[in-house]
Amino acid sequence: MIRFIASRLLRAALTVIAVMTFAFVVLRLSGDPAQVLLGPDVPQSVLLAFRDRWGLDDPILTQYFSYMHAMFQGDFGLSMRDRSPAIDLVLQRVPATLELTIPALILQLCFGIPAGIYAALKRGTIADRGVITIAIIGFTVPSFVMGLLLVLIFSVNLGYLPSGGSSTLQHAILPIITMSIGGIGVLARFSRSAMIEVMGQPYIRTATAKGLKWRDVVRNHALPNAAVPIVTIVGFMVGSLIAGAIIVETIFSWPGMGRLLIVSVTNRDLAVVQCILLLVAAVMVVSNLIVDVLYGWLDPRLRNTPAAH
């Protein structure tokens, strides 16, 4: 088990380094980094100091190492807008994003998985078809369409909920719902097929043949086994939540990290973009790591055999 965790940690670390290298390469390719990170109307002396500090006239390998060094110290450059450190700007916005993503994740887990499992248990009935249809609608309609639709219905026509800004709790309702719908659909469909596959296994038939009550069969045999693939897909959901945050925050003018990303990209405020990129990569890597470890723990077959990759 230790070996398993260690190899996964190593892979995670390598991935983060790979993303940093990617950002480095792309940054270098897109023009003079000093110009690009500091913006156009900066006096020559500042440019020269910057180049000196970041060793932009050094051989490329040295540059790479000082870049990595700076990254690890949390120095991501200055935002073009107000010359404040990019990292501060980004971290400031994180809580707002969390206010949306965490409730959305909870909603997805609490609605999506039970819906899928229920549909699997009642397979073929109207309830099952209903769940599938709603799930399909959920993940086929892109989040920006869904968001605008919800605004149209609830804000414009019915006037129940506000359509922008983040001052009150009510403001959060539509964004959170928009963010969670797609994920609920995906989770429901996936949980359903995972559950169906588990239910078709011979050991379930054996359990019922042994005389166990149906409820116990489901609880003790079906669910734990279905949990394994479901956990892996929850790992994917984190990524799509982050991507979803970008769109939802833009639609609802929510002052979170996603909106900052769009604004920075439009303004080519590359220090901020770079910072957000690395932050997201770190979050993804950590969540994949947790999922991998959880997966290894849940599936005993993986625990004692060394990772075969």
Partner 1 sequence: MPISTLSTIAVKRRRPALPLSVQVALLWLLAMIACAVFVNVLRPYPVTQMDLSTRLAPPGTPGHWLGTDELGRDVLSRLIQSIRSSLVIAFGATILSAFVGTALGFMAAKFRGVVEHIVVMLADFQAALPFLIMSLAVLAFFGSSMLLLVCLMGFYGWERYARITRGLAISASSQGYAAAVVQLGATPSRVYLRHILPNVASTLIVSMTLTFPEIILMESSLSFLGLGVQPPDTSLGNMVGFGREYLTTAPWIMMGPAVVIVLTTLAISLAGDWLRDRLDPTL
* Distance from C-alpha of 92 to C-alpha of 83, rounded to nearest angstrom: 15
Tokens 């959305």 belong to 104
Q: How far is the CB of 68 from partner 1 (least distance, A)?
A: 17
Contact window for partner 1 (CB under 8 A) among 25-33, 99-107, 119-127, 226-234: 25-33
For the chain, how many residues are written?
309
Residue 23 touching partner 1 (CB under 8 A): yes
- The contacts of residue 21 (CB under 8 Å, 6+ apart) are 64
Residue 22 touching partner 1 (CB under 8 A): yes
Q: How far is the CB of 210 from partner 1 (least distance, A)?
A: 34
Of the candidates 269, 268, 271, 247, the residue with the CA atom closest to the CA atom of residue 259? 247
Residue 95 touching partner 1 (CB under 8 A): no
The residue type of 117 is I
Contact window for partner 1 (CB under 8 A) among 81-89, 104-112, 189-197, 269-277: 269-277
Residue 232 touching partner 1 (CB under 8 A): no
* Positive or negative: CA dihedral 68, 70, 71, 76: negative
Helix, coil or strand: residue 85: strand
Q: Which of residues 278-297 bind partner 1 (CB under 8 A)?
A: 280-281, 284-285, 288
Residue 143 vs 178, nearer CB to partner 1: 143
Residue 66 vs 240, nearer CB to partner 1: 240
Contact window for partner 1 (CB under 8 A) among 46-54, 69-77, 102-110, 151-159: 151-159
Residue 119 touching partner 1 (CB under 8 A): no
Q: How far is the CB of 276 from partner 1 (least distance, A)?
A: 8
**CA distances (Å), 227 to each of 35, 53, 222, 233, 276, in order?**
51, 51, 9, 10, 32
Site string for partner 1, 29-48 (x = CB under 8 A): xx------------------
CB 247 within 8 A of CB 143: yes
Q: How far is the CB of 116 from partner 1 (least distance, A)?
A: 17
CB 113 within 8 A of CB 187: yes
User: HSE-up of 133 (CA within 13 Å, CB side)?
Assistant: 7
Size of the site for partner 1 (CB under 8 A): 48
CB 116 within 8 A of CB 173: no
Beta bridge partners of 85: 78
Per CB under 8 A, residues contacting partner 1 are 11, 14-15, 18-19, 22-23, 26-27, 29-30, 136, 140-145, 148-149, 151-152, 156, 239-240, 242-243, 246-247, 250-251, 261-262, 264-266, 268, 270, 273-274, 276-277, 280-281, 284-285, 288, 309
